[in-house]
Amino acid sequence: MERKLRTVEKNLLLKMFIICVFAPVSGGLLGGCSTTHYRTSADKETYKIIQEKSADVPNVDTEFTIEPAPLPSLEDLPKVTEADPALGEAAELEVNSYILSLEKALSIAVKRNRSYQNQKESLYLAALALTLDRHQYTPIFSGGGNAAYNRTTRDRTEVTTVGAIAQAAPDVVKQIGQLTGTPGELISRYSTLVTEAINASGLEQRRTVVVDERSVSGSSRLGVDLLLKGGAAIAVDLTSNFLRFLTGDPRVDTSSALVATITQPLMRGAGRRVAAERLTQAERDVLYALREYTRFRQEFTVDIASAYYNVLQARDAVHNNYASYLAFQASAERDSALVAEGRKRRSDLGRIEQARLNSENVWKNSIRAYRRGLDNFKIQLGLPTDAPIVLDQQELQRLQERGLQEWDIPVDDAVKVALATRLDLYNARDKEIDAERRVYIAANSLKPGLDLVVSGRVDSKEGDRFQELDFERARWSAGLNLDLPLNQKSKRNTYRAALIELERARRQSTLAEDTVKLQVRDAWRNLDQARITYEIRKIGVQINEERVQEQQLLAELGRGDALNLVDAQNDLTAARNELTSALISHTIARLQLWRDMGILFIKEDGQWQEVTDDVES
């Protein structure tokens, strides 16, 4: 019997747990969601926000995603088939390496560069935070419940069986007397005598026993909260309670209640401008992050192009230094023959030999610098340093064949364009507006707190009818809650600090504008200087080529001076390196001017779009 009772208790406990806990929220809990679902849901909502904000930012990345791209395949790229003798012992290392164009390098960089990925994730996190702030203004459901099996004990005082008989004896005597017709006086005396005998014997004494009580109980709650942008807060809760005793009197006690409360600020915290400040700032933060990301893409493309051309310049220096080494080697061989013939002094041969050794050292150092620069560039792209790639030398050849690309725009017009297009300048201006809004909010916090509160409650009907609410006996109340501003020191300080932050934001806005002007003017001057430098270096190469030719001709005739030949050859090598440097500097300076003007438009693969001279129109 006891085992059967325990089985019934366990089954009842399980049923109550399901009813009280899971039933109210079965749709949400029983459905269940995997971690993949949550990740997909977050991505979908976040990407949608970024797409919405993209309409307000020009040149955004329309294919934005934070998913890491796989290591790109290089199989479709051309390969190095012949060793480059200018690389010396490192020449064979580049055979069968893939030739990476600038366009391909940019495409890889936007997918693999670590800083680029961090910047994308920063934008994603800003939009992800906004999803929560938007969620605060939607109905937010909550629910829960509990179920318990209860075992308690209590003391109960009761009369023993003998005592109960003894207590009933006087009444029995009276009933016997009535049945037998015995006189009442005699019966009464006898009853009194029996009572006194019972009292004297102590048979009427009570005893205390321990009573074991068992029950199951449960409760559930289902609520919804809604925050309005005007500051009002609405809360609705439905609660249910259940209690059933399994021993003793098997009674059931159930109840339910529906409670609703509406709180509307009337002074402090009232109004959409104040109440929805957190949401407003979160919306603007996503816009700022999107602008910063777009600006970053412009800077990133310039950085990658600059690094690419710098590696090509380093390799071009290797070729120039190698040519210088070969020239000194040829001069040494020629002078050695002339010395043997007695047509040249041995001291001149020693000077040439020393120059040959120096040029060999410079050449090998330039190879090491090139290899290091290439490895650094691989890291910048997000590739392993042992990736078998080299950069396309035809990119430099095309620049050399094309020469300078003139791009003439007055500096004042360039500044005007930048002031109208620079995204970071827009952020600085908008943050000044944010500071003005925070001053208004801080001033609002100094007002007294006055809230209108309306609440209502409906209980369930009496009896075991917890599922039926008795709306006829509903109760409600309306009133005002007043919070007097008696201690305003903290809020006073906050307001004063907000005023200071506003002044700082204004100064920062003007500083940002002046900085943009300075950057554009510097970029314009750098471009102009790069053009002048290129023209000078170009003339320098022509002059030094003529000097070298002249000195070599004199040396062949035995009339040359070794010092003049060494100087001419060194100057020619330096002039060629400087010419390449000037050409690349001009190319990068042009991109930097477009970037600082805010008109460097970046394609999805990281490549830039060429800008025409009529941009100011």
Res 507: pLDDT: 97
Q: Which of 131-135, 178-182, 455-459 has the lowest mean pLDDT?
A: 178-182
What is the rounded CA–CA span in Å between residue 292 and residue 57?
10
Res 558: pLDDT: 65
547 confidence band (pLDDT: 50, 70, 90): confident
99 confidence band (pLDDT: 50, 70, 90): very high
Q: 105 pLDDT exceeds 80?
A: yes
**DSSP symbol at 119:** H
Mean pLDDT score of the chain: 84
Spatial neighbors of 111 by CB under 8 A, at least 6 apart, are 69, 72, 382
C-alpha torsion sign, points 35, 54, 121, 604: positive
Write the pLDDT tens digit of every residue in 301-354. Answer: 999 999 999 999 999 999 999 988 888 788 777 767 766 666 666 666 677 788
Mapped onto helix, strand or coil, the DSSP state of residue 188 is helix
What is the rounded CA–CA span in Å between residue 577 and residue 20?
83
Q: 617 pLDDT exceeds 90?
A: no
CA-based nearest residue to 212, from 286, 265, 152: 152
Q: 393 pLDDT exceeds 60?
A: yes
Write the pLDDT tens digit of every residue in 493-528. Answer: 999 999 999 999 999 999 999 999 999 999 999 999
CA-based nearest residue to 351, from 567, 547, 545, 552: 567
Q: 217 or 586: whose pLDDT is higher? A: 586
Structure tokens at 16: 């109550």
* 3-class DSSP string for 84-106: CHHHHHHHHHHCCCEEECHHHHH
Instruction: Provide the residue ranges of all domains of the chain, joining segments of one domain with +.
Output: 35-61+84-137+275-447+485-616
Res 28: pLDDT: 44
Res 180: pLDDT: 61
Res 17: pLDDT: 44
Res 494: pLDDT: 95
Q: Which of 16-30, 487-501, 541-555 has the lowest mean pLDDT?
A: 16-30
Q: 22 pLDDT exceeds 50?
A: no
**DSSP symbol at 70:** P
CA-based nearest residue to 304, from 528, 156, 59, 109: 109
Question: Using an 8 Å Cβ cutoff, are 306 and 608 in contact?
Answer: no
Res 23: pLDDT: 44
Mapped onto helix, strand or coil, the DSSP state of residue 388 is coil
Backbone phi and psi for residue 176, each to the nearest 5 degrees, phi listed first: -65, -40
CATH 3.20.20.70 for domain 35-61+84-137+275-447+485-616: no
Mean predicted confidence (pLDDT) in 411-415: 94
> Residues, the chain, total?
617
Q: 450 or 563: whose pLDDT is higher? A: 450
What is the rounded CA–CA span in Å between residue 280 and residue 591?
36
**pTM of this prediction?**
0.81
Write down the residue that tokens 């009444």 correspond to: 171
Structure tokens at 544: 């030094």
